[in-house]
Amino acid sequence: RFEDGTVSFLDIIALKHGFDVLEKLTGGMEKIKQHTFALAHYTYTVLSNLKYANGAPVVRIYSDTDFSNPDVQGPIINFNVLDENGEVLGFSQVDSMASLHNIHVRTGCFCNTGACQMHLGMSNEDIRRNLQAGHVCGDNIDLIDGRPTGSVRISFGYMSSFEDAQTFLNFIIATRLSKSDTEIPFQSVTKPMTECVPDDHLSFNNADKLSPVLQISDRELRNISSEAEATGRWQPPEPKAGSIRAAVCETAVPTCRKGGKPITVAKIYLYPIKSCSAFEVTEWPVGNQGLLYDRNWMVVNQNGVCMTQKQEPRLCLVNPSIDLKQKIMVIQAEGMDPISVSLEDNTGKEAVVCESKVCSHRVKTYDCGERIAGWLSTFLGRPCHLIRQSSDVKNKSHQKNTKGLSPATNISLSLVNEAQYLLINVASILQLKEHISARLKEPLEIEELIRRFRANIVVSAPESFEEEEWAEISIGALQFQVVGPCSRCQIICIDQQSGERNKEILQSLSAARGRKTNFGVYLMNQPLLSSFSNILSVGSQVLPVLKENTEIQPPTSSEEKCSG
Q: Could you give phi then psi for residue 500, rounded to 5 degrees?
A: -80, 145
Query: Which amino acid belongs to residue 527?
Result: P
- Residue 544 bridge partners (DSSP): 473
Q: Is the pLDDT of residue 397 over 60?
A: no
Where does residue 544 fall: left (phi above 0), alpha (psi -120 to 50 degrees), or beta otherwise?
beta
Helices (H), strands (E): how many in the chain? 11, 26
Q: Is the pLDDT of residue 497 over 50?
A: yes
- pLDDT per position as a tens digit, 318-350: 999 999 999 999 999 999 999 999 998 765 544
Q: Could you give phi then psi for residue 101, rounded to 5 degrees?
A: -100, 15
Q: Give pairs for 162-166: CB < 8 Å, separation 24+.
A: 162/39, 162/42, 162/191, 162/192, 162/211, 164/39, 165/39, 165/42, 165/43
56 neighbors 17 (Cβ within 8 angstroms): no
Q: What is the pLDDT of residue 97?
A: 86
How many Å apart are CA 466 and CA 553, to the nearest integer?
A: 13
DSSP 8-state assignment for residue 453: T
Q: Is the dihedral of CA 187, 192, 193, 198 positive or negative?
A: negative
Q: What is the pLDDT of residue 515?
A: 61
546 neighbors 470 (Cβ within 8 angstroms): yes
pTM value surpassing 0.95? no
Q: Is the pLDDT of residue 197 over 90?
A: no
Q: Radius of gyration over alpha carbons of the chain, in Å?
A: 27
Residues 462-475, mean pLDDT to the nearest whole number: 92
String of b and e for 210-245 (b: at least 16 CB within 10 Å)?
bbbebebeeebeeebeeebeeeeeeeeeeeeeeeeb
- Cα 514–Cα 520–Cα 523 angle in degrees, nearest 5: 140
Of the residues 109, 111, 306, 316, only one is catalytic, namely 111
Q: What is the pLDDT of residue 143?
A: 87
Q: Is the pLDDT of residue 383 over 90?
A: yes
Mark whether 111 is an active-site residue. Answer: yes
Q: At what angle do helices 162-176 and 91-100 cross, to 10 degrees?
A: 120
In this structure, which CATH number among 3.30.450, 2.30.110, 2.60.40, 2.40.33 belongs to the domain 259-269+416-548?
2.40.33
Q: What is the pLDDT of residue 140?
A: 80
Residues 413-420, mean pLDDT to the nearest whole number: 80
Report which of 103, 95, 196, 85 is spatially closest to residue 151, judged by C-alpha positions.
95
Where does residue 304 fall: left (phi above 0), alpha (psi -120 to 50 degrees), or beta otherwise?
left
Task: Output the CA–CA distances (angstroms, integers) from residue 432 to 176, 318, 346, 454, in the order listed.
Answer: 18, 27, 43, 15
Residues 170-193, mean pLDDT to the nearest whole number: 61
Instruction: Indicate the pairing of strand 457-460 with strand 421-425.
Output: parallel
Q: Identify the weakest region by mean pLDDT among 87-96, 222-231, 491-500, 545-554.
A: 222-231
- pLDDT per position as a tens digit, 265-283: 999 999 999 999 999 999 9
Q: Where are the domains of the chain?
A: 10-176, 259-269+416-548, 296-392
Residues 202-230, mean pLDDT to the nearest whole number: 41
pLDDT classification of 502: cutoffs 50, 70, 90:
confident
- At residue 142, the 3 state secondary structure works out as coil
Q: Identify the weakest region by mean pLDDT among 169-178, 404-413, 468-477.
A: 404-413
How many Å apart are CA 119 and CA 311, to the nearest integer?
A: 35
Q: What is the pLDDT of residue 526?
A: 62
pLDDT classification of 438: cutoffs 50, 70, 90:
confident
Q: Is the pLDDT of residue 253 over 70?
A: no
- Residue 148 bridge partners (DSSP): 143
Report which of 14, 81, 89 is spatially closest to residue 50, judged by C-alpha positions.
81
279 neighbors 403 (Cβ within 8 angstroms): no
214 neighbors 36 (Cβ within 8 angstroms): no
pLDDT classification of 260: cutoffs 50, 70, 90:
low
How many Å apart are CA 422 and CA 465, to the nearest integer?
A: 14
How many Å apart are CA 273 and CA 287, to the nearest integer?
A: 16
Q: What is the pLDDT of residue 517?
A: 83
Q: Identify the weakest region by mean pLDDT among 356-360, 380-384, 542-546, 550-554.
A: 550-554
- Residue 384 bridge partners (DSSP): 301
Query: Which amino acid belongs to residue 209?
Result: K
Residues 69-84, mean pLDDT to the nearest whole number: 94
Beta carbons within 8 Å of 93's beta carbon, 6+ residues apart: 142, 487, 510, 515, 516, 517
Query: Which amino acid belongs to residue 152?
Result: V
- pLDDT per position as a tens digit, 25-71: 999 999 999 999 999 999 999 999 999 999 999 999 999 999 999 99
Q: What is the pLDDT of residue 292?
A: 92
Most confident listed range (146-155, 192-201, 487-496): 146-155
Report which of 163, 158, 159 is spatially closest to residue 43, judged by C-alpha positions.
163
Q: Is the pLDDT of residue 404 over 50?
A: no
**CATH number at 10-176:** 3.90.1150.10
Other residues' Cβ atoms within 10 Å of the Cβ of residue 381: 9
Q: Is the pLDDT of residue 233 over 50?
A: no
Instruction: Indicate the pairing of strand 151-155 with strand 421-425.
Output: unpaired
Task: Output the CA–CA distances (angstroms, integers) from residue 75 to 107, 159, 160, 218, 264, in the order listed.
Answer: 16, 12, 11, 22, 54
How many Å apart are CA 520 and CA 468, to the nearest integer?
A: 7
Which DSSP helix (H) or strand (E) runs through 536?
Answer: strand 535-537
Which has more pLDDT, 218 or 432?
432
Most confident listed range (171-185, 197-211, 245-259, 504-518): 504-518
How many Å apart are CA 128 and CA 138, to the nearest integer?
A: 16
Mean pLDDT, the chain, as a whole number? 78
Q: Is the pLDDT of residue 159 over 50?
A: yes
